[in-house]
Amino acid sequence: MAGATAGLCALRSAVPGWGARSAAAASSPTLDDLTGGRISVGATITRDNAGVVKELLSPGTYEKIVRYGLELTVAPTTTDERRLVPEPWLEASEHHRGMAVLDEKGQLRTRDGRPWIGGFPFLEPRTGLEAAWNIASPSWIEYADDFSYGGGEHLIRKGEVYRSLKWIFTGISTVGRTRMPPAPFYPGHEDELYRLLIRYVEPFDYRGTSILTVRPYDQTRLERAYAYVPATRRVREVPTYQRWESASGNDIFRSDHNGNNDPLSHWSWSLVERRPMILPGVSDGYEIDPLPTIAGRFPRGRWELRPDAQVLEAVPKDPQCPYAKKILYVDSVMRKPLVFDFYDRTGRVWKTGVHHHARIRKDGETIISFNHPNHTMDLLADHVTYIWVDAPSVEKNAGRKLEDLWTEEAMLRAAY
Amino acid sequence: MDRGSDAAGGILNPRIPAIGDTRTAWLAWSIILVTIGSGAVSAADYPHLDATGFQRLQSAISLDGKNPNNRGVDDTAHTVNLFRSFGQLELIYDSSRTLRLYGKFRVMTEHASDLDGRLRNFDGCPAGFRGDGWSVRVSSDHACAEAWELYTDVSLGAAWVRIGKQQVVWGETLGRRVLDVVNPLDLNWHLFLEPFVEEFDNIRIPQWMLRVTSPLPNPWSAETDLEVIANPGDSISTQLPGLGSPYNLTPSFVAVHDEPARGHWTVGGRITENVLGASLSLIALSKPVDDAVLLSSGAVVDPKLGLPTPVASGQTVPLRFLSDGVHPRVFLAGGSANYFQQQLGGVFRLEATVAPDQPYQKAPGSGDPAPTHVKRRATWRYALAVDRPTVLFPGADATTILSFTFFETIVAGAPRGIRSNGARVDATAEQLTFALSQPLLRKLLFLELLANYDPDGAFWVQPGARAIVGDHWRFDLFANLLGGGENRPGRFGALGFADEVALRGAYGF
């Protein structure tokens, strides 16, 4: 174990460049190196051997293993970035390299003062806020101008599923568009970052309910939200002030989605360190477990040693926030948080979330999409939200227009 | 709810089966399907048929026991206000991305009078008016089945057309029908006393209409939409409980003959807009009024139901007063503005309408016993509301609903010259509403409260609890408490007899 710790310490100052990615990965220590040969690729980590790799896991992941029986098998490290991020997105990021700046308010602009024009804004983030801007838009996380998929969530209490919801989730970027016209901005909506729409399909008490979210580009402002509830037959603007609760009773607060769903100015961001970690990987094709297969709570999924994870810590500015902090573990190639831990006011890890991904070929190009059931666990309550995606329903860059889905009028049109 | 409280008067109509009309409506629907369906283009995941619905059983136990409006019909104290099964099936057929057929079908049975023998003259499914076959409904005293909604959606480029029997809902203020004035209400089986979070979905009467919505390009905004509606004559009035119902609003000594303004058109439109984060709308609507204006047509001697009335010195006669309900046309213009104020954490809402020629009863002259003519007065209605989720219990979720609403009606001119349901009309009338829904247990249990206060001295309070069990079961326990000294028709105090405790259980799918 001492050898493993020494190996980790040696890596904690790495700031590898984009172009050096492959070389950096190739020269990175292996799992054998980091564990003194006690854990190798292909091994399964259980509560019996988790202590060996404790430093390579997030505290939340470690606790899931030792307290709740999560088991994870470590796959070989993926070194080709094109297998982790769609090539067009990599190209856009490279093309726009160096064009992103943060103004005095921490607002992302291009050097000529426009909203962001697409791709990762900060290929090599130097600050926490820069790293946070890389994940500020779900569309950027999806590597697409628009996306949609069907899926659902199981609510699991002490290993028993007691409620299941199904929904359709869609999003569209209004700025930073790279693939579909209009690009890079949606005319008239340059002051927005994106729009999201979720429409519930099941169970009966949620059925037909849809919520449209309009995220301002200005990261000091809360999103606007519009809800259609079948019983009321109308789209009503609803407050978005309540950040610390979930919409459906699950474990994901409004603030929590994708690790952060708040205006960036609501948190103080720090890029604490960069180090190798065992994180969820990107599997070849979908591997969907419709129900938990491990300990009644967790899915199977690809995990691998990621050589360079950004440890992004955020401290809330809202005194009402029940968290002391949250830590997002961001893969430096995918630039998205794959694991996130939320700490309560006493310093305990309260909740932890995991995002798995799949790589598929669709319509002639590679899509990276959410894959195995992602899950968020309330470690204190032994409660899991198990989110799955219906693989055939995934669409990205379909060329949808704003008025197709993401307006109040479109909500009414789709409603019944 | 305000429309319900406006609604007094009543219907004492013979049931008209109107089978021919029903067939006509089904035929029209079939023609629509065939005509439009023939042009459908199927996509990979079309056609698609979906179904949803519920089966519900509900009962309400009276806390008052007697409805004074049923004097002479049911003078004994009853216990059961309601014992109803309610089955609903929605079928959604998406033929393509541009074509949807939709039907909502429901069957209700009412057994309160089976359980409570003191309800001797209770028709649990009252309805019936000339031309009601277009409502696609059949009923007996204990059961009714109907195609509640039946329409087709067609997308034509950026425009969207809905043709058929439908509800059109405007405005955003919870439970207030300031702009939500297109369809009338079916109050005949439970007034407006269902859980307030459901608003009017199950009692807003769908009508045969054409509705067209289209973007309205303009240089100032990217999100302006124009909506036009036209109802060629499927005009329906507010449907009220019949004589003998525990919820009857009309005194038994008044016999109302109320025929909806069948054949009279409704036409209107709405422009919606988002400006600087505010949702705005403007509406205009012309239609026959939903609530009948009651005009006296005489009186008859009725020893059973008549009101002892002095007709000469020292002599009284039991008279039953006859009224005709008329539905003059009214024009409404209005608008709404809704804005989420981030610092205060709430959505602020304003809705307002003006009816320059709102019809009222003309106050009877000194020699006339009852109104016989219509008199029009400009009438303004507006609601100011704020919705602000709030954490009431540390550690619990914030309320899903916590709203305050101030609602006011202003009538122009001297109010002495007009009447509403025979009662004097105030120049201004206000209501304050507080609504709350507090989720507990991961949003599986909701504690809810609606409190309406009329500063003239009346109230309606609806406390309740709603529980979700698993993915299919829902239970509601709630009460309706109404009363106060302000008991003019249309005010909550006039409904003091309707206090009750209600329980519902539903299986949904």
Backbone angles phi, psi at B469, to 5 degrees: -120, 115
Strands A72-75 and A303-316: parallel
Nearest CA in chain B to A407: B223
Verify whether the Cβ–Cβ distance B198 to A203 is below 8 Å.
no
Verify whether the Cβ–Cβ distance A204 to B160 is below 8 Å.
no
Burial of B313 (0-12, 13-18, 19+ CB in 10 A): exposed
Distance in angstroms (rounded) separating the CA atoms of residues B69 and B85: 26
Amino acid symbol at A72:
L
Give the range among A109-113, A379-383, B15-19 with minimum mean pLDDT: B15-19
Give the range among A3-12, A238-247, B251-260, B329-338 with minimum mean pLDDT: A3-12
Verify whether the Cβ–Cβ distance A204 to B509 is below 8 Å.
yes
- Nearest residue to A48 (alpha-carbon basis) of A72, A31, A61, A66: A66
Verify whether the Cβ–Cβ distance A412 to B474 is below 8 Å.
no
Q: What is the pLDDT of residue B3?
A: 30
Q: In this structure, what is the dihedral angle of CA atoms B401, B404, B410, B415, given to the nearest 10 degrees?
A: 100
| pLDDT grade for A140, boundaries at 50, 70 and 90 | confident
Handedness of CA B32, B34, B37, B39 (dihedral sign): negative
Our measurement of the distance from residue B455's CA atom to the centroid of its chain's CA atoms, rounded to an integer in Å, reads 23
Candidate from A163, A239, A413 with C-beta closest to B347: A239
Å from B399 to nearest chain A CA?
Answer: 9
What domains are defined for chain B?
2-508 (2.40.160.10)
Q: Which of A409, A411, A413 should be substituted to probe chain B, the one whose Cβ sees the most B Cβ atoms within 10 Å? A: A409
Burial of A97 (0-12, 13-18, 19+ CB in 10 A): middle
Amino acid symbol at A331:
D
Candidate from B204, B213, B471 with C-beta closest to A203: B471
Candidate from B102, B388, B443 with C-beta closest to A239: B388
- Is the pLDDT at A304 greater than 50? The verdict is yes
Distance in angstroms (rounded) separating the CA atoms of residues B102 and B151: 5
Candidate from B347, B470, B508 with C-beta closest to A237: B347
Average confidence (pLDDT) over A162-190 = 95
Q: What is the pLDDT of residue A362?
A: 84
Verify whether the Cβ–Cβ distance A234 to B272 is below 8 Å.
no
Candidate from B169, B274, B508 with C-beta closest to A234: B169
Å from A386 to nearest chain B CA?
Answer: 15
Burial of B35 (0-12, 13-18, 19+ CB in 10 A): exposed
| pLDDT grade for A26, boundaries at 50, 70 and 90 | low
Nearest CA in chain B to A165: B471
Judged by DSSP in three states, A374 sits in strand
DSSP 8-state symbol, B76: S
Q: What is the pLDDT of residue A139?
A: 81
Candidate from B92, B158, B346 with C-beta closest to A403: B158
Q: What is the pLDDT of residue A175?
A: 96
Nearest CA in chain A to B174: A232
Distance in angstroms (rounded) separating the CA atoms of residues A309 and A332: 6
The DSSP annotation for A297-336 comes to TB----EEEEEEEEEEEEEE--TT-SEEEEEEEEETTTTE
Q: What is the pLDDT of residue A25?
A: 52
Candidate from B102, B391, B472 with C-beta closest to A204: B472
Q: Which of B149, B347, B444 should be substituted to probe chain A, the one whose Cβ sees the most A Cβ atoms within 10 Å? A: B347
Give chain A positions within 8 Å (CB) of B172.
Answer: 234-237
List A residues 252-271 in contact with B (Cβ-Cβ < 8 A).
none
Nearest CA in chain B to A188: B222
Tokens of B317: 């006669």
- Nearest residue to A215 (alpha-carbon basis) of A146, A268, A261: A261
Q: What is the pLDDT of residue B32?
A: 41
Å from A249 to nearest chain B CA?
Answer: 4
Handedness of CA B354, B359, B365, B368 (dihedral sign): negative
Bigger pLDDT: B38 or A95?
A95
- Is the pLDDT at A360 greater than 80? The verdict is yes
Question: Measured between CB atoms, does A376 come within 8 Å of chain B?
Answer: no
Å from B158 to nearest chain A CA?
Answer: 8
Kindly report, residue by residue over A256-289, the tens digit of the pLDDT. 999 999 999 999 999 999 999 999 999 998 877 8
Nearest CA in chain B to A253: B397
B100: left (phi over 0), alpha (psi -120 to 50) or beta: beta
Å from A235 to nearest chain B CA?
Answer: 7
Kindly report, residue by residue over B388-426, the tens digit of the pLDDT. 999 999 888 889 899 999 999 999 998 899 999 999 999
**Mean pLDDT by 10-residue block, N- to C-terminus, for chain B (509 residues)?**
30 30 45 38 67 97 93 90 96 94 96 89 77 84 93 93 96 90 95 93 95 92 92 94 94 93 96 90 98 95 93 89 97 97 94 98 86 96 96 88 96 93 95 96 96 98 97 97 95 96 97
Distance in angstroms (rounded) separating the CA atoms of residues A222 and A209: 22
Nearest CA in chain A to B280: A237
DSSP 8-state symbol, A106: S
Q: What is the pLDDT of residue B194?
A: 96
Give chain B positions within 8 Å (CB) of A231.
Answer: 197-199, 201
Å from B81 to nearest chain A CA?
Answer: 24
Q: What is the pLDDT of residue B321?
A: 95
Kindly report, residue by residue over A177-209, the tens digit of the pLDDT. 999 999 999 998 999 999 999 999 999 999 999
Distance in angstroms (rounded) separating the CA atoms of residues B7 and B498: 14
Do A100 and A132 form a contact (C-beta atoms < 8 A)? no
Does the model's pTM come out above 0.95?
A: no
Q: Report the mean per-residue pLDDT for chain A.
A: 91
Bigger pLDDT: B473 or A393?
B473
DSSP 8-state symbol, A217: S
DSSP 8-state symbol, B98: T
Verify whether the Cβ–Cβ distance B279 to A408 is below 8 Å.
yes
Distance in angstroms (rounded) separating the CA atoms of residues B465 and B468: 10
What domains are defined for chain A?
81-414 (2.50.20.10)
Within A49-125, residue ranges assigned H as helices are 59-68, 87-95
